[in-house]
Amino acid sequence: MNGPGTIGRVLIVEDEANILEALSFILGRSGWDVRGHGKGDGAVETVARVQPDLLILDMMLPGLSGLDVLRALRAAEATAHLPVLMLTAKGQAKDRDEALAVGANAFLTKPFSNAELLDMVAKLLTARPAVAQAATPEAKG
């Protein structure tokens, strides 16, 4: 599944190249196998192909919005329990509430610190439900 010495695989769906590059660097340096996708269109298919342990998903994407991508992922059995961290430049409470209602596990507002990102990722993985962990080998096998 993951290369030697990696924590796990993370897929980042983010349309801003500089943010994608920064996230990739931060997470890669911390031991993650990082993959990227730059738009909402095709994101669901990329999740199916990459089979990440964690998804970092921008809320505002070209094509399908991050919320639309998340709705599709939550509707599919294979990705219903995939940990998802939503990123957004919109820090309003209604945006956070909507993302969480659709099924985001956590929400991070841009700009954020490296420490905030790494802390949130660690919390998401330790909080993974047992049912999701049990389903992971079947979904990836």
What are the tens digits of pLDDT across the range 75-133?
999 999 999 999 988 767 888 888 989 999 999 988 889 999 999 999 998 876 543 33
Give a yes or no: residue 33 inside a domain: yes
Whether residue 4 lies inside any domain: the answer is no
What is the distance between the alpha carbons of residues 82 and 91, in angstroms, rounded to a whole number?
A: 23
CATH no. for residue 31? 3.40.50.2300
Letter string b/e over residues 71-85, b meaning 16 or more CB atoms within 10 A of that residue's CB: ebbeeeeebebbbbb
Average pLDDT over residues 35-39: 96
Reported confidence tier of residue 4, pLDDT bands at 50, 70, 90: low
Is residue 34 a contact partner of residue 10, using CB atoms and an 8 Å limit?
A: yes
- Count of domains for the chain: 1
Give the domain range for residue 64.
9-140
pLDDT band at 5 (very low <50, low <70, confident <90, very high): low
When pLDDT is cut at 50, 70 and 90, the band that residue 140 belongs to is: very low
3-state secondary structure of 42: coil
Cα distance from N-terminal residue to C-terminal residue, the chain: 9
